A and B are shown apart, each in its own frame.
Chain A
């Protein structure tokens, strides 16, 4: 029989993480409906096979890692390239700032602009940033999830911050932040 309290807890977890997980999946897989399917499948599987995870501290870590793996599996099954892959990594490319150019009409909507900036982050940098920010995973968890060192996570986060700050500045939108 279903333990109703646990199911309720499961529902709350679903409501909390569904959107960030879909967005995370969406950073790999373009089709939004596929992203939703992937995330729903992960939840169904947790309920069916790993109920113990629902109350565990590592749930978030598990969710994001599972969504990531399933997204990449989907892409490889579909013989498609991921939006980005982890292998072709660029730890220090300072040219990236130059490549990131905000579109001129977007000077007012700072949030949309920053969203654009995140989109344009270099691949690995973007993944580390999304995982840290959406999943609220610790640096150690992000490192474990991606199979990289904690030091690299820290570096990539710094890089993301630097690029986003530069991006916002070049759009001349600092005023808006400090309003």
Chain B
């Protein structure tokens, strides 16, 4: 084995580092000429050095995905910087909303992997944090988000498809475009439309779609063959297993925006469903009332829940009681 003098060692390192001085180069050239073995030795160091760069450069981490995450975080901070000014398409993030936004991104992410589009896809997130909020999508479709709801779509929205992920409740008025069907994904289901208006309510138990105009295809995300066409004036709920269809009897599915709850000879069972959904409080009936004999005709506009309950109990001759856990019982 060749024994190298310290001076040569240092020069070899400097040479590989691109920091060799002309004087050092002279010394090294001298040494290289002394023996063929020296030349070979030098070549080996070069090889180790070059090859190591290859190894260290080989990509192991998903840079594109990481950039998406960073880009997403920075958009948030930019939004904080210029809060005043823009109104409609500001990307808003709630403290609690971040989790929802992340979940919405997760809903879309699987799809994104499937349809590999541009490398630099970023996510647009719109959240209605303190009040209901209108969002105009790039294709001019209009979305009305209920307070607490979030939609997410990619920066490529409208190029090859129109796809959004929804958490919470929203009303959609979709710009017609037969070539690019509009899709709404929730955690549970997939809604495909060509151009129509409809309302989606998502809860932990079920997704509910009420169609105002046109038609939509409502399908199970896990089993797409499990599907159902919903037409205008129809109201379909999906629990994860089966679709339950009924005709729309009132327009209370949008009460969260209009503030109006309207009942026309509506079975009490449905009345309390709408009340629960509007006030975010659980209202229960005792078993005999669930039979559906009691019907309600009344209209409320932005009244507090106890006033509404007072009125209903006066109309029906029933009573209500608030339990400790805030659940309301009608009996």
Interface residues of chain A, those whose CB is within 8 Å of chain B, are 1-2, 11, 14-15, 18-20, 22-23, 32, 35-36, 39-40, 43-44, 47-48, 110-111, 114-115, 118, 129-130, 132-134, 138-139, 154, 157-158, 161, 164-165, 168, 174, 177-178
Known: A114-B51, A133-B52. A47 touches B74 (CB 8 A): yes
- Residue of A22, A43, A158, A168 touching B12 (CB-CB under 8 A): A158
Known: A134-B56, A158-B9. A18 touches B63 (CB 8 A): yes
Q: How many A-B Cβ pairs are below 8 Å? A: 99
Closest 5 CB pairs of A and B: A177-B47, A22-B61, A164-B48, A18-B63, A115-B55
Digitize B43-57: 1 where CB-to-A-CB distance is under 8 Å, 0 elsewhere: 111011101111111
B10 interface contact, C-beta 8 A: yes
A142's nearest neighbour on chain B, judged by CB, is: B17
Which residues of chain B are within 8 angstroms of A129 by Cβ–Cβ distance? Answer: 52
Which of B54, B63, B70, B81: most chain A Cβ within 10 A? B70
Which of B14, B47, B48: most chain A Cβ within 10 A? B48
* Beta-carbon contact of A23 and B60 below 8 Å: yes
Which residues of chain A are within 8 angstroms of B47 by Cβ–Cβ distance? Answer: 177-178
* Beta-carbon contact of A118 and B52 below 8 Å: yes
Some 23 contacts from A to B, beta carbons below 8 A apart, are A1-B81, A11-B71, A14-B66, A14-B70, A19-B59, A22-B61, A23-B60, A40-B73, A48-B74, A111-B55, A114-B52, A115-B55, A118-B55, A138-B17, A139-B17, A157-B17, A161-B13, A161-B16, A165-B44, A174-B44, A177-B44, A177-B47, A178-B47
Per the bound structure, the CA–CA distance linking A153 and B286 in Å amounts to: 80
Main secondary structure of the interface of A (DSSP, over half): helix
* Beta-carbon contact of B70 and A161 below 8 Å: no
Which residues of chain B are within 8 angstroms of A138 by Cβ–Cβ distance? Answer: 17, 19
- Beyond contacts A14-B67, A178-B43: 20 other A-B pairs, Cβ-Cβ < 8 A, are A1-B81, A11-B67, A11-B120, A14-B70, A15-B67, A32-B60, A40-B70, A47-B77, A111-B51, A111-B58, A115-B55, A130-B56, A133-B56, A138-B17, A157-B17, A158-B9, A158-B13, A161-B16, A165-B45, A168-B44
Which residues of chain A are within 8 angstroms of B51 by Cβ–Cβ distance? Answer: 110-111, 114, 177
* Beta-carbon contact of B10 and A154 below 8 Å: yes
* Beta-carbon contact of B55 and A114 below 8 Å: yes
Q: Could you tell me how many residues of chain B have their Cβ less than 8 Å away from some Cβ of chain A?
A: 38
Per the bound structure, the CA–CA distance linking A19 and B55 in Å amounts to: 12
* Beta-carbon contact of A18 and B67 below 8 Å: yes
A132's nearest neighbour on chain B, judged by CB, is: B17
- Residue of A19, A20, A44, A139 touching B73 (CB-CB under 8 A): A44
Per the bound structure, the CA–CA distance linking A1 and B80 in Å amounts to: 11
* Beta-carbon contact of A43 and B10 below 8 Å: no
Which residues of chain A are within 8 angstroms of B58 by Cβ–Cβ distance? Answer: 111
B82 interface contact, C-beta 8 A: yes
Per the bound structure, the CA–CA distance linking A115 and B71 in Å amounts to: 32
- Residue of A19, A39, A43, A111 touching B54 (CB-CB under 8 A): A111
Per the bound structure, the CA–CA distance linking A139 and B16 in Å amounts to: 11
> Measured between C-beta atoms, what is the minimum distance from B219 to chain A in Å?
34
Which residues of chain A are within 8 angstroms of B77 by Cβ–Cβ distance? Answer: 47-48
- Residue of B48, B66, B70 touching A168 (CB-CB under 8 A): B48
Known: A138-B19, A157-B17, A158-B10. A114 touches B63 (CB 8 A): no
> Measured between C-beta atoms, what is the minimum distance from A14 to chain B in Å?
6
Digitize B14-31: 1 where CB-to-A-CB distance is under 8 Å, 0 elsewhere: 101101000000000000
* Beta-carbon contact of A36 and B52 below 8 Å: no
> Measured between C-beta atoms, what is the minimum distance from A64 to chain B in Å?
13
Which residues of chain B are within 8 angstroms of A44 by Cβ–Cβ distance? Answer: 70, 73-74
- Residue of B49, B53, B55, B57 touching A161 (CB-CB under 8 A): B49
